[in-house]
Amino acid sequence: MELRKYERLNEQVNICSLPNGLVIYVIPKKGYFKSAAVFAANYGGSDMRFRLAGEWHDTPAGVAHFLEHKMFDMEGGGNALTLLSANGASPNAFTSSGMTAYHFESTENFEDNLRILLKFVSRPYFTEDSVAKEQGIIGQEIRMTEDDPEFAVYQNLMKSLYAENPIRVSVAGTVESIAKITAKTLYYCHEAFYNPSNMVLCVAGDIDPARVEAIAREILPPEKRETAERDYGQKEKPRPASGLSDVKMEVAVPLFMAGVKLDVPDRGQERQRRELLMDFAMNLLLGKSSPLYARLYADGLINNTFSGGSTFFPGGAAAVFGGESRDPSAVCAAVIEEAASFASNSLRTELFQRLKKAALGDEIRSFNSLYGMCVRQAAGHFAGFDPFGSMEQIAGFTMEDVSEAVLGSLRPENLAISIVRPVKGES
């Protein structure tokens, strides 16, 4: 195994690649009683259109999320969640726009739990009856989510920003789209994306890296298979697809989210840098320590739900901000005006230095979670960057970098706004 050391973080990572294409990361934490494992596929809600064996395929929205739910079923009627829990593990899974991850934490029986994890994720078992039953369960989840104002305000913003990128569609899909999913659909998508060369195994704890590698070789198929090519639509124009989404739901006060598209690389260390930089820039511009936040709060235009940052997903990225406000348009206008004068405000230099130290401290603390470290490692692997390099990225930020990020992005012509207003009251 290759050993990478990170002096600033006092961490190290063991890395190896198997003949089947699987990359394994083991983060040793000597003396820890708890261990964590994440087995992830480079496959998420945005991967609806792909090419395999020279043929393009279009799948219904929500397949990746549906597949995550069904992967815990085991032949013979068993359930991997139950099995792992009975063996002393705390298991779960999640699906994002670009990744599906299965994970557990445990203080005992780590090797046995790892075997269970690798087996059920790599050996699917579906029937048409079980798929039909799951359609009803996930359909209920979708209906509940669609009634959630916070989900609606975000999803409507993505639809306003993007004309083609599949981020427009919920990771879970719709009741209509999941009705088209069959056992055959799930088996084919598992074959396309759940192959070792399209996956990563990340482990953290007081674990022998050689044992992790040996177990992976024992359980997983030895051959390397073709990786599917994805299509996220044509390159998007800088301006939003539509400027405004304005709907009414059961909320007490208006809820809004505004954002602009970011032109960033799909992969690599520069993508990581841009994500970290944009989060830092938004915090400096409108975070709770900023002059803008203080003014808006004093004027009663925002409350403590207001925040901003960046969101990155396959084929795109956006800088976003929002929260509850009696006048979302006034808040958006103030943010755009503040962004225009960002570079000329000399008062921000002191705040920049203070927030930079805070960001470095937050980054160090983020590596305290074994599970969090594994998820970050998996996401970085799929995006082509080293998550342990974040400290160097942040340490290298200058005020000029931040000003360029703000001035280059937050322009009025690039802004889209999503608002959820109360059912009762004025528009």
CB atoms within 10 A of CB 223: 11
Contact 402, 281 (CB under 8 A): yes
pLDDT at 38: 98
pLDDT at 341: 86
Average pLDDT, the chain: 94
pLDDT at 10: 86
What is the gyration radius of the CA atoms in the chain, in angstroms?
23
User: Rounded mean pLDDT of 178-201?
Assistant: 96
* Strand 255-261 relative to strand 316-324, pairing: antiparallel
* Strand 416-422 relative to strand 244-249, pairing: parallel
Instruction: Please report where in the chains the tokens 């230095």 appear, as a residue.
Output: 353
Helices and strands of the chain, counted as H and E runs: 15, 15
User: Rounded mean pLDDT of 292-300?
Assistant: 97
Instruction: Please report where in the chains the tokens 């989060």 appear, as a residue.
Output: 279
pLDDT at 247: 96
Cα–Cα nearest to 204, from 343, 303, 105: 105
pTM: 0.94
Cα–Cα nearest to 385, from 222, 227, 274, 232: 274
Cα–Cα nearest to 72, from 36, 119, 115, 20: 119
Classified as helix, coil or strand, 120 is: helix
Torsion angle, alpha carbons of 379, 381, 383, 386, to 10:
100
Which domains are assigned to the chain? 2-230 (3.30.830.10), 244-422 (3.30.830.10)
Looking at per-residue confidence, does 197 or 344 come out higher?
197
Looking at per-residue confidence, does 120 or 77 come out higher?
120
Reply yes or no on whether the pLDDT at 344 is more than 80: no
Catalytic residue among 68, 236, 324, 338: 68
Share of the chain above pLDDT 70, in %: 98
pLDDT at 427: 44
* Strand 23-28 relative to strand 35-41, pairing: unpaired
The two tokens of residue 214 are 């040996």
Reply yes or no on whether the pLDDT at 426 is more than 60: no
pLDDT at 140: 94
Contact 393, 380 (CB under 8 A): no
The two tokens of residue 249 are 């739901």
Residue-wise pLDDT tens digits, 230-258: 999 998 999 999 989 999 999 999 999 99
Q: How confident is the model at residue 347 (pLDDT cuts 50, 70, 90)?
A: low
Residue-wise pLDDT tens digits, 153-183: 999 999 999 999 999 999 999 999 999 999 9
Task: Write the CA distances from 116 to 23, 72, 171, integer angstroms.
Answer: 19, 10, 26
Distance CA 47, CA 61 (A): 9
Cα-to-chain-centroid distance, residue 241: 23
Q: How confident is the model at residue 333 (pLDDT cuts 50, 70, 90)?
A: very high
Contact 311, 318 (CB under 8 A): yes
Looking at per-residue confidence, does 367 or 100 come out higher?
100
In degrees and rounded to multiples of 5, residue 12 shows phi and psi of -145, 155
User: Rounded mean pLDDT of 74-92?
Assistant: 92
The two tokens of residue 411 are 């322009």
Reply yes or no on whether the pLDDT at 94 is more than 70: yes
The two tokens of residue 24 are 């394994």
Q: Integer distance in angstroms from the first to the last C-alpha of the chain?
A: 61
Is 68 tagged catalytic?
Answer: yes
In degrees and rounded to multiples of 5, residue 313 shows phi and psi of -155, 170
Task: Write the CA distances from 290 to 243, 276, 328, 391, integer angstroms.
Answer: 27, 18, 19, 23
Residue-wise pLDDT tens digits, 49-77: 999 989 999 999 999 999 999 999 988 87
Contact 310, 409 (CB under 8 A): no
Cα–Cα nearest to 155, from 322, 30, 13, 268: 322
Classified as helix, coil or strand, 218 is: helix
Classified as helix, coil or strand, 99 is: coil
Residue-wise pLDDT tens digits, 130-156: 999 999 999 999 999 999 999 999 999
pLDDT at 346: 65
Contact 18, 214 (CB under 8 A): no
Residue-wise pLDDT tens digits, 259-280: 999 999 989 999 999 999 999 9
Which residues share a beta bridge with 245?
418
Angle, helix 63-70 to helix 128-146, in steps of 10 degrees: 120
DSSP 292: H
User: Rounded mean pLDDT of 374-398?
Assistant: 95
Reply yes or no on whether the pLDDT at 203 is more than 70: yes
Residue 260 is which amino acid? Answer: V
